[in-house]
Amino acid sequence: QVQLAESGGGSVQAGGSLTLSCAFSGFITAPAYNYCMGWFRQAPGKERERIGVMFGNGNTAYADSVRGRFTISREHDLNTLRLQITRLKPEDTAMYYCAADLEQLYGCREWTDFAYWGQGTQVTVSS
């Protein structure tokens, strides 16, 4: 059973930095099984949006709106996906989620179809 658990959120001042972590377990660790993983966020009153998705080969695609300030990385030994955020802005205030999905032959499915989601961690940025 795949499980994801985010941590590292909190209240920070604008201009600061934060690193979120997503501990995952239950993945099938066989050569034919790769997973797409990503970070997403949902601000109050807004729809959930994609921050970035890491493909099974380790390449990452970011949303244009966050490119340059957000970095996704994976620590295989720790089964952890991280999200580094720099130069935080008040508009970054949101619930941040990680999600995963088994990679298909053609690549990753649309992130809205990802099968596994964590409960989220809150980030609040004050000006």
> Could you tell me which of 45, 40, 99 has the C-alpha nearest to residue 65?
40
71-116 confidence digits (pLDDT tens) = 999 987 778 999 999 999 999 999 999 999 999 888 899 999 999 9
pLDDT score at 33:
75
CA dist 24 and 89 (Å) reads 28
18-53 confidence digits (pLDDT tens) = 999 999 998 877 766 789 999 999 999 999 999 999
Please give the span between the terminal C-alpha atoms of the chain, in angstroms, as a whole number. Answer: 41
Within a 13 Å sphere around the CA of 23, how many CA atoms are in the beta-carbon half?
4
CA dist 56 and 31 (Å) reads 11
pLDDT score at 78:
78
pLDDT score at 31:
66
